[in-house]
Amino acid sequence: MITASFGAVQYERGQPGYTDLLLYGMGAVVAFTAMEGLATRGFRVPLTGGSDQVITLGTALAFVSVALAITTALAVAAALRGGVAWFGGSLAASLVFLLIESPGARLGRVGAGTPRRDDRAGLSHRGPAPGRRSQI
């Protein structure tokens, strides 16, 4: 997604300079760091992995989030100028991708019947997580 979004910004803005490349990279880092910070409640709660079914469903539906992210990068690059276009294109594309992909992953988790874990105890309806003792 981020590589294709780079191509969209480059298509609109032309060949980037070194500063533009740094700004583009920083836009993606800021977006992913901010979303991970929100998802982990300020980096205090670990993220949990999904089951194979959830990952497969998320991958199958990713084309929507990828297409919208690339389109967003192109639109932002068309609206902005200079380094701001590179930073904004990357930031916006990453945010769009994450905001669309995240609900899809949650929907896949529910659709696949994957239990939600209690983050403190590491428990699910199937029992304690591997390597953890039950605290009940």
Per-residue pLDDT of the chain (136 residues; tens, 9 = 90+): 999 999 999 999 999 999 999 999 999 999 999 999 988 889 998 877 666 776 777 777 788 899 999 999 999 999 999 999 999 999 999 999 999 887 655 554 444 444 444 444 444 444 445 555 544 4
Domain definitions of the chain by residue range: 2-115
Decide: residue 55, CB within 10 A, 0-12 exposed, 13-18 middle, 19+ buried. middle
Looking at residue 105, its pLDDT comes to: 53
Element holding 68 (H helix, E strand): helix 52-79
Please state whether the predicted TM-score (pTM) of the whole model is above 0.85.
no
DSSP 117: P
Task: Determine contact, residues 89/5, Cβ cutoff 8 Å.
Answer: yes
* Token pair belonging to 48: 């949990």
Task: Determine contact, residues 87/13, Cβ cutoff 8 Å.
Answer: no
* Token pair belonging to 101: 């992909």
